[in-house]
Amino acid sequence: MRPYETLVVLRTDLGDEGAKLLTRFETVITGQGGSIDENRDWGVRDLAYPISKQRQGHYHLIEYQAEPQTVKELERNLRIVEGVLRFVSVQQEHTGLPEPRVREHYDRRDAPLSEMRSVDRPADGQAEAAAGGEEAAAEIEDIEIPADMNEEAGEVQ
């Protein structure tokens, strides 16, 4: 048997009929050889959008162990009943939080930008750019500035 959970949204105006429907669904599961682990009543909640002119729904979560044929029979019964607004059945695969992934190798492309920059020594391309930058700065210092330019404002007088 496999673990499943089914979330059922019932209309809020059912009252005692809602409890009878839930017992009916539980008997479908147990009648097919399954077992109920837990039945949680989540209460009345607002719906994201109106369904059959209903703005609220009564949520129930049923956790159970069953065979796939049992889930098909349960879903068939859920479709027939008019008081059910929506339902979803999911096979539970999780047994807690997943284990963190461990990197097998460290690739430079995966490295953050801060680790790629080296403060002690520049990379090959950066060394050439730095050398070319010093030459360009020396050439700029040799340029004469016309006398009619204001050095402070950088505008022509």
pTM: 0.58
Give 93's pLDDT tier (boundaries 50, 70, 90). Answer: confident
Tell me the mean pLDDT in the region 83-109: 74
Query: For residue range 20-62, what is the model confidence (pLDDT) as tens digits?
Result: 999 999 999 999 999 999 999 999 999 999 998 999 999 999 9
Fold of 2-91: Alpha-Beta Plaits (3.30.70)
Query: pLDDT-derived band of residue 92, with 50, 70 and 90 as boundaries?
Result: confident
Q: Assign 150 a pLDDT band (cuts: 50, 70, 90).
A: low
Tens digits of residue pLDDT in 2-23: 999 999 999 999 988 999 999 9
| CA torsion angle 47 53 57 60 (round to 10) | -110
Residue 126: predicted pLDDT:
54
Where do we find the tokens 């700065």? 137
Mean pLDDT taken over the chain: 79
> Alpha helices, DSSP H only, in the chain?
16-31, 68-80, 113-116, 124-141
- Cα distance between residue 154 and residue 157, in whole Å: 9
Q: Where is 49: in which H helix or E strand?
A: strand 35-51
**Rounded to the nearest 5°, which phi and psi values hold at 146?**
-60, 150
More confident residue, 103 or 67: 67
State the Cα–Cα distance between residues 112 and 104, nearest whole angstrom: 17
CB 11 within 8 A of CB 50: no
pLDDT for the residue 44: 92
Q: What tokens appear for 136 in the block?
A: 């360009």
